[in-house]
Structure 1
Amino acid sequence: MKLKTVCIGVAALAMSAIAISTAPSRSEDKKPYTIYLSNNFVGNDWRQQMERVATVSVNKGPLKGRVDLKIENVENTVQAQINSLNNIIRQKPDAILVDAGSDSALNPTIKKACDAGIVVISFDQVVTEPCAYAVASDWDRIPSVMAEWMATQLGGKGNIILDRGLAGAPISAQLQQGYEKVLAKYPDIKVVGYYNGNYALGPEQSGVAALLAANPKIDGIMTQGYGSGAIQALKDAGRPIVPVVGFSYNVAALTCAQTQGAKCILGSNPAYLSSEAIKLAVDILDTGKKPAERSISVKGDFVTTDPFESKLYPGTKMIKIAVGENAFPDQAPGLTLPITPDWVEITAAEAAGSK
């Protein structure tokens, strides 16, 4: 079932509500809401940052003192998350946030929580159960804008190589298709090679290096990962630095900023999706109002050396890379940028866990 998605800015979530429940408002109740975050996997930088910013966002700003947040990490199996969710439901919290191990296998358990009167919000890896809200990045917009940027940099002409991501991963196929759909509008841009970067620096660098050796003229590189591995491969091969598309890891932004002649655009799947899910849960609990659509798209900013005005998505926000302001030499390479939503100030140190 394909979900209809509506893009709603954070500040407008409450205003978008059209359906009002009979639940009484607790906006003036001093008792904090009990909210559980169920996470099926914690083995990468993004998931760890996601949990840190969730914790920070309920301890400062408008949500300070409003939420008793409990984070439950489980083994990366569907059954483990189902068991954990059943235990959470028995605690009768006000809301449950779920970064799901399956888009459908959790549905009966999610429905059980909804039937118990619990607000359920899936985020990042979302579920298809209609009673749960879904907060995620716009995976149609992200590759489209980045491919448009590449075409603009190349003046509509040149040879590029393209990352297929991780074999079998649905998001990898969606990103590849998104890139290629836009590039198809530019017949003078040729994809001369593909590689699988596997969302890791090593495979990205070796995959690009192999294609550089096989192609004497490369004008652009479109990754699904860091981009910094691609730039290092260009350096190692003694090749000119060409425009690179990647994702907004701290190491990528620093490499782009500190490499002479580098031009980059970095798309973002912000780790603060967890904070947005918490904010939405509190808005619903405070007002009793529900968003107009169950699927809510968060518009992450693009981080780039060369901002441009997207014609495909007018008004898309571009953040120019600036070392010390939005790229941090003293923080972890895997820190995901940007680090904070606009309704609370989360510092780089807080997001990285170095404070």
Structure 2
Amino acid sequence: MTAIALVAMAAALAASAAGPAAAEAKKTYKIYLSNNFVGNDWRQQMERVAAVSVKKGPLAGRVDLKIENVENTVQAQINSLNNIIRAKPDAILVDAGSDTALNPTIKKACAAGIVVISFDQVVAEPCAYALESDWKRIPAVMAEWMARQLNGKGKVFVDRGLAGAPISAALEKGYLDVLKKYPDIEVVGNYNGEYALGPEQAGVASLLAAHPEVDGILTQGYGSGAIKALQDAGRPLVPVVGFSYNATAVTCAKTPGAKCILGSNPAYLSSEAIKLAVEILDTGKKPEDRHILVKGDFLATAPFKSELYPDAVTQTIEVGKTAFPDSPPGLTLPISPGWVEITAADAAGS
């Protein structure tokens, strides 16, 4: 046999040995995303960034993504999930309408060998992974920022969110647990902002009429409603805690004297869920803990380093970089995880 023939044979053998592994590494997975509600900006952005994240970066060509929207009822989502299970996908991602009512259906999917990841609104069924923002960390860092702004002394208003909502109670408790460490910070008023600009502005305005002095406001919503209430009352601006809506970031960046920190429940939770599903399918390795916390970045008008959570990242609010005047006000920031580039235009669907 000639030297050329030997080289050709060796190359063929090497290609044969490497072929299955290489093919497996580039396998395309069929993944469904089941969403029970599209009636707000966050859910629509969540779907858009999911679709973008499988077209670029490390997931490009790896995922055949199908998004199934259903009516906002538990039964509608159960019916849809049963149809999805019959399609035998590799994975199902679920933004759930109930943390318990979907459990029997989720269990059926797991029994069929389907990887199930619940995200945002997560399920209790142990066979499914639960991927969500760290709701303990978020209010703690923001209350710490407020205490630092006030040098440990002052009077504050605290938003109670939406009456009866578990996340509202968790956020309020998170704020108060930190503020209790500062005996010279006094909560002088509460209101229910209901995660909407109107109730937030009205609630703060009512408290301003009753309290001649306030040094800080901790909202569970936009924060920009609180700033507008201060301006309308002719009161000096005070430090404000809010969440990372684009309108709020723009307001904080453009309002002279504004001091803000914004917590994030990133819409790219969907992208993180897709990435996790692909990692599990590629490697066969399952995370040690079914409950996975996404640590979204904070946004602030000036650099801030948390002592309670030293690994917390705070991005500075800057027009054109982390705040986008030409993009929809309801856009949730930050827009993109670190492993794929999702632009403001991508997230807005423009």
TM-score by length of 2: 0.93
Residue number among 57, 64, 68 corresponding to 2:64 in the alignment: 68
Matched, 1:255 2:277: no
**3-state SS of 2:24 partner:** coil
Letter in 1 for 2:40: N
Cα pair 2:227 2:237 within 8 Å, conserved? yes
- Whether the 8 Å contact between 2:95 and 2:118 is mirrored in structure 1 is yes
1:114 alignment partner AA: C
Mapping of 1:148-163 within 5 angstroms?
A: 148-163=144-159
Alignment pair present for 1:208 and 2:204: yes
Correspondence list, 1:23-38, <5 A: 28=24, 30-38=26-34
Question: Which aligned pairs between 1:185-224 and structure 2 lie closer than 5 A?
Answer: 185-224=181-220
SS in structure 2 at match of 1:345: coil
- Offset, 1:320: 0.3
1:44 aligns to 2:48 (yes or no): no
Q: Contact 1:196–1:203 (CA<8 Å) still a contact in 2?
A: yes
Give the alignment of 1:5-20 within 5 angstroms.
Answer: none
Instruction: Please tell me the residue identity of whatever aligns with 1:275.
Output: S
* Matches of 1:268 and 1:194, distance apart in 2: 22
Query: Which residue pairs with 2:14 in the alignment?
Result: none
More helix by share: 2
Partner of residue 111, structure 1 = 107
1:31, CA displacement in angstroms?
Answer: 4.6
Is 1:238 the counterpart of 2:238? The answer is: no
Structure number, greater radius of gyration = 2
**Aligned equivalents of 1:137 and 1:324: distance in 2?**
25
State the superposition RMSD in angstroms: 1.2
SS in 2 for 1:108: helix
Whole-angstrom distance in 2 between the partners of 1:164 and 1:73? 31
Match of 2:292 among 289, 296, 299: 296
The verdict on how the C-alpha distance between 1:25 and 1:228 changes in structure 2, with shifts beyond 3 A counting, is: farther
Match of 1:15 in 2: none
Where 1:28 maps in the other structure, the secondary structure is helix
Ranges in structure 1 where 5+ consecutive residues have no aligned partner = 1-23
Distance 1:131 1:29, change over 3 A: same
Give per-residue Cα distances to partners, 1:208-261, cap 9 Å, x unaligned: 000001100010000000000000000000000000000000000000011110
In structure 2, list runs of 5 or more residues that go unmatched: 1-19
Task: Write out aligned runs for 1:202-351 (5 A).
Answer: 202-351=198-347
Task: Tell me if the contact between 2:266 and 2:334 (Cα under 8 Å) persists in the aligned partners.
Answer: yes
Secondary structure, in 3 states, of the residue corresponding to 1:92?
Answer: coil
Q: Which residue of 2 aligns with 1:82?
A: 78
SS at match of 1:194: strand
Are the counterparts in 2 of residues 162 and 194 from structure 1 also a CA contact under 8 Å? yes
Amino acid at match of 2:48: R
Question: How far is 1:126 from its partner?
Answer: 0.3
Matched pairs, number? 331
Counterparts of 2:50 and 2:311, CA distance in 1: 28
Q: Deviation of residue 26 (structure 1)? A: 8.5
Q: Which has the higher contact order (CA 8 A, sep 6+)?
A: 1
Residue number in structure 2 paired with 1:4: none
CA drift at 1:307:
2.3
Give distance in 1, aligned partners of 2:21 and 2:348: 35
Q: CA deviation digits over 1:134-177, x for unaligned, max 9?
A: 11000000000000000000000001001000011100000000
Q: Secondary structure at 1:297's aligned position in 2?
A: strand
**Matched residues in 2 for 1:29 and 1:215: separation?**
63
Alignment partner, residue 5 of structure 2: none
In structure 2, the partner of 1:10 is none
1:94 equivalent to 2:90? Answer yes
Other-structure match for 1:3? none
How big is each residue's C-alpha offset from its partner over 1:42-89, in whole Å with a ceiling of 9 and x where there is no partner? Answer: 100000000000000001111111100000011111111111100100
Q: CA separation of 1:27/1:318 partners in 2, compared to 1, >3 Å: closer, same or farther? A: farther
User: Structure 1 residues 320 and 29 mapped into 2: Cα distance closer, same or farther (>3 Å)?
Assistant: closer
Contact 2:51 2:65 in 1 (8 A): yes
Give distance in 2, aligned partners of 1:104 and 1:173. Answer: 20
CA contact (8 A) 2:117 2:128 kept: yes
Closer, same or farther in 2 for the Cα pair 1:276/1:238, shift >3 Å? same
Cα distance 1:26–1:274, how it changes in 2: closer, same or farther (>3 A)? farther
Instruction: Say if 1:117 and 1:108 are closer, same or farther in 2 by CA, change over 3 A.
Output: same
Over 3 Å counting, the alpha-carbon distance change for 1:47 and 1:168 in structure 2 is same
- Which aligned segments of 4 or more residues in structure 1 are displaced greater than 2 angstroms? 24-31
TM-score scaled to structure 1, two decimals? 0.92
> How far, CA to CA, are the matches of 2:21 and 2:265 in structure 1?
32
Q: What is the aligned-residue identity percentage?
A: 79
1:21-54 CA-to-partner distances (Å, cap 9, x unmatched) read xxx9896365521000000111000000000000
Residues 1:25 and 1:84: Cα distance change in structure 2 (over 3 Å): farther
Amino acid at match of 1:179: Y
Contact 2:155–2:187 (CA<8 Å) still a contact in 1?
Answer: yes
Corresponding residue for residue 146 of structure 1 = 142
Q: Following the alignment from structure 1 to structure 2, what is the Cα–Cα distance between the partners of residues 112 and 207?
A: 46
1:258 maps to a residue whose letter is K
CA 1:182–1:215: 2 relative to 1, 3 Å: same
Give yes or no for contact 2:25–2:282 (8 Å, CA) kept in 1. no
